[in-house]
Structure 1
Amino acid sequence: MQTRRLSTRAAALAGAAAVAAAVLATGGTAQAQDRAADHSQTQARQRAAAAPVFLAPRELPPHPLSAWYAGNVTQGLPEAPFCLENALPTTGSSHRLFWTEYDTGASQIVVKAASADAAAKLAGAVERKVRDCAADWQRQNPQGTASWRDYGTVTGEDGAHVYGVHTSAPDSEPSIHLFGVGRDGSTVTIVGWGEMGGFADAPVADFQRTTTTAVIKLYA
């Protein structure tokens, strides 16, 4: 009887210890999750307060005959950005223009939205605008031709996507444009590149790397 009572007591103590350990483990997990959430919120606040970092000229696709040059970062939107007219808000926007000694040019637009959800919706709307650009241009220029290509997603914080748009009008040189649309939290960036030519002239791989760089360095 004594042995049985001791065994029963030992089992009870072991069970209590297991319950206590489980409670501690659960509490530790909850605390870790709370700390992770607090850290994410702190990072989000810091990013919202920080000024985004723009691309440097050397980070654009190399031009075979010219260096890249850049203007200052300017508040607001560039004048009549191709494919993106009426797609972006002026509030919270800034941009930087790039150029070469030839016809090749580029731009970067950054928009700080009110929240990550708002930024995700904006990025989606911009992508739809780019996908519709060729058809919209064709309707406005029925004598010309236009087409677009989806070059897929690239690495970059909360995601980035690259597209190409080609247009050709009578009595005018054809043009090729590349667009990279990416997001980091509540901030959206759009990189544009363009020159005279066609899809075969587009430096897609280099531009994909440029898009990744643009998104990653926003708040690096």
Structure 2
Amino acid sequence: MRTLRTALLTAAAAGLAVTALAQVPAAAAPAPAPAPPKFLSAGQLPTSLTPWTAGPVHQGVPVEGSVCTAGLAPAAGTRHRDFYTELDTGARQTITVAATTARAKALAAELRSALETCLDRLKEQDPGLEGEALYQGRVDIEEGAHVYSIDTSHPEVGSTDIGLYAVGRDGRAVTVVEWGQLGDLDGAPLEGFKKTTRTAVAKLY
């Protein structure tokens, strides 16, 4: 009788253990990491006389930093991509994912300030340089994007260069789009660049 009672108690205890285990919720599967922001493709750059070629996406900041904004974006969380044509026209997109939305907002403000003061800093480095920098307006997309142009010339050597720049943000992601070629603002595809800027910010997330 004692043996039977022991067996019954053992079976009951086992049943309670199984029931208890069944009531423990399974550990939730970890949430998948969000997809990284997407870059522009070659076909989304402003129209050029020769086709654009997109380089690979690289981690970190460019080895050869952008003239106006070098040193602002942290290497961690930053990627960049260069674009080329057969003529003297090139472009670059840099994307930084900040740790917080507040930090992304601050970075975007720092980048805009750097573009607004870029020409003055270039003139300090090269007193023979002449030029004009203009704010070309806001592009209404996500948290907004802002477009600038910097038109430079060096009379002593007879060279002229035009650069178009944009800073845009979507949440924690900040992107800088740069475009440049020999020539002046009259020959630059400003409206096409604004369209490219809109696409760049829309593709972030």
Question: What TM bracket, shorter-length normalisation?
Answer: 0.7 to 0.9
Give 2:52's aligned residue.
68
Give 2:165's aligned residue.
179
CA contact (8 A) 1:166 1:175 kept: yes
CA distance in 1, matches of 2:164, 2:83: 14
Q: 1:57-93: CA deviations, max 9, x gaps?
A: 0100000x20000111110112121211222211110
CA distance in 2, matches of 1:147, 1:90: 31
Give 1:128's aligned residue.
113
Paired residue type of 2:165 = F
Paired residue type of 2:101 = A
Give 1:196's aligned residue.
182
Q: 1:98-122: CA deviations, max 9, x gaps?
A: 0000000000000000111110110
Q: Report the CA distance between 1:172 and its aligned residue.
A: 4.7
> Size of the alignment, in residue pairs?
173
Decide which of 63, 69, 83 is 2:68's aligned counterpart: 83
Paired residue type of 1:53 = K
Give 2:197's aligned residue.
211
Give 1:165's aligned residue.
150
Does residue 109 in structure 1 map to residue 94 in structure 2?
yes
Q: Which runs of 5 or more residues in structure 1 are unaligned?
A: 1-44
CA distance in 1, matches of 2:69, 2:158: 22
CA contact (8 A) 1:137 1:146 kept: no
Output the TM-score relative to the length of structure 2: 0.81
Q: 1:153-210: CA deviations, max 9, x gaps?
A: 0022111000001121221521110001000000100000000111111111000000
Output the TM-score relative to the length of structure 1: 0.76
- Greater fraction helix: 1
Q: Which has the larger radius of gyration?
A: 2
Q: 1:16-56: CA deviations, max 9, x gaps?
A: xxxxxxxxxxxxxxxxxxxxxxxxxxxxx98x732110000
CA distance in 2, matches of 1:198, 1:167: 8
CA distance in 2, matches of 1:113, 1:82: 22
CA contact (8 A) 1:94 1:110 kept: yes
Give 2:20's aligned residue.
none
Paired residue type of 1:147 = E
- Greater fraction strand: 2
CA contact (8 A) 1:135 1:146 kept: no
CA distance in 1, matches of 2:196, 2:129: 30
CA distance in 2, matches of 1:189, 1:109: 6
Calculate percent identity across the aligned residue pairs.
Answer: 41
CA contact (8 A) 1:135 1:147 kept: no
Give 1:93's aligned residue.
78
CA distance in 1, matches of 2:157, 2:72: 29
CA distance in 2, matches of 1:174, 1:151: 19
